[in-house]
Amino acid sequence: MVLVGGMGTRLRPLTLSTPKQMLPVGSRPMIEHVVEHLARHGVQEVVLALGFRPDAFTAAYPDGRCNGVRLRYAVEPRPLDTAGAVAFAAAEAGVDRTVVACNGDVLTDMDLSELIDFHRRQGAAATIHLTPVDDPSRYGVVSTDDEGRVMAFIEKPSIEAAPTNLINAGTYVLEPEVLAAIPRGRPVSIERETFPALAAQGRLYALASAAAWIDAGTPASYLAANLRHATDGPAGGVDTTASVTSSVIAAGVTIGPGAVVERSVLMLGADIGRGALVRDSLVGPGARIGDRARLDGLSVVGAGVEVPAGEELVGVRLPAS
């Protein structure tokens, strides 16, 4: 099960027109990186737990296949939150076996096979992949004993209240009994309700790894995820006097004479005017950055938005949401 039904609020305005997991990372939608990783560990069938803008996914994979994996769609009638979404998707797909569930905005090369083996060895009801981070306060913080039994699961604590720097990395192995115990017909958070309850029963385990990991759900982390796929220099549509460094430039982008693009993402058909500067910023599909305009400091420009010539935006979202 891959959870892709959130509103992507932190990536607005880009997510007003495209759900988060359909935004590009490098040259492909985020979801394809997630599915490819699962496929590498032998996953043959993925149920997408959909809520917000499900049409974007069904339209992108009309034959229900992605990276050689069969896709099934479970569309929630209303947002059921993370545990509610997993339980709903399992019921819709008629799944009654051990499942792997993951957050659709997590890009990682963690060893899923090892996580499943560990889960079975411990006889766990549920097992969580953990990763170390510098600031745990925007994640689910998890402390364990020496056997990997979870002692505490605290979602988004204050930085002082975080007992460790190991956080819920958003990949889970779940036994059917866990799915069956999730209350139906109302939103249920796996982080705030299901996991704390399982931890209190001593039946929740976790395994940390040092694998590459990023949650691409904020402008800074989404940009960082893209920059792993960045290239330099000329591409079609880029004027020879423009300078492009460490950026991701989608198809159909035009960049005018003398423009400078650094550490940025320019989506499908974006147009950068003559002498403009785009640095550390995200430019949505079909957006137009006017001549000599300057975008810097994690500015985010939505689909089709026009930034007037000469405008200076630093850390600005346009339109503001």
By CB under 6 A, name the binding residues for ligand GDD.
3-6, 20, 49-51, 76, 79-82, 85, 103-106, 139-140, 155, 167-170, 191, 215, 217
Smallest distance, Å, CB 131 to ligand GDD?
Answer: 8
Which of 126, 311, 306, 159 is closest to 319 using CA atoms? Answer: 306
CA distance 284 to 191: 31
Nearer to ligand GDD, 34 or 303 (CB): 34
Contact 204, 126 (CB under 8 A): yes
- Binding piece for Mg ion, criterion CB under 5 A, among 35-43, 94-102, 181-189, 207-215: 207-215
Q: Minimum distance between the CB of residue 54 and ligand GDD, rounded to whole angstroms?
A: 9
The nearest distance, CB 242 to ligand GDD, in angstroms, is 35
Chain-centre distance for alpha carbon 204: 24
Give the shortest CB-266-to-ligand GDD separation in angstroms: 24
Residue nearest to Mg ion (CB): 217
Q: Does 217 bind Mg ion (CB under 5 A)?
A: yes
| Per-position x/- string for 102-121, each x denoting binding to Mg ion as judged by CB under 5 A, each - no binding | ---x----------------
Whole-number minimum distance, CB 265 to Mg ion, in Å? 18
Rounded Cα distance between 170 and 106, Å, is 7
Residues 6 or more apart whose Cβ sits within 8 Å of residue 157: 136, 137, 141
Output 36 or 155, the one with its CB closest to ligand GDD: 155
94-100: Cβ within 8 A, 24+ apart: 95/1, 95/47, 96/176, 97/176, 98/173, 98/174, 98/175, 98/176, 99/1, 99/173, 99/174, 99/176, 99/179, 100/1, 100/38, 100/43, 100/171, 100/172, 100/173, 100/174
Selected binder of Mg ion within 76, 193, 215, 271 (CB under 5 A): 215
Residue 103 CB, shortest distance to Mg ion, in Å, is 6
Q: Which is nearer to ligand GDD, 20 or 288 (CB)?
A: 20
**280 forms part of the interface with Mg ion (CB under 5 A):** no
3 binds, among ligand GDD, Mg ion, none (CB under 5 to 8 A by kind): ligand GDD
Q: Rounded CA gap, 306 and 271, in Å?
A: 9
Q: Which residue has the tokens 């549509």?
A: 237
- Interface ranges with Mg ion (CB under 5 A): 105, 215, 217
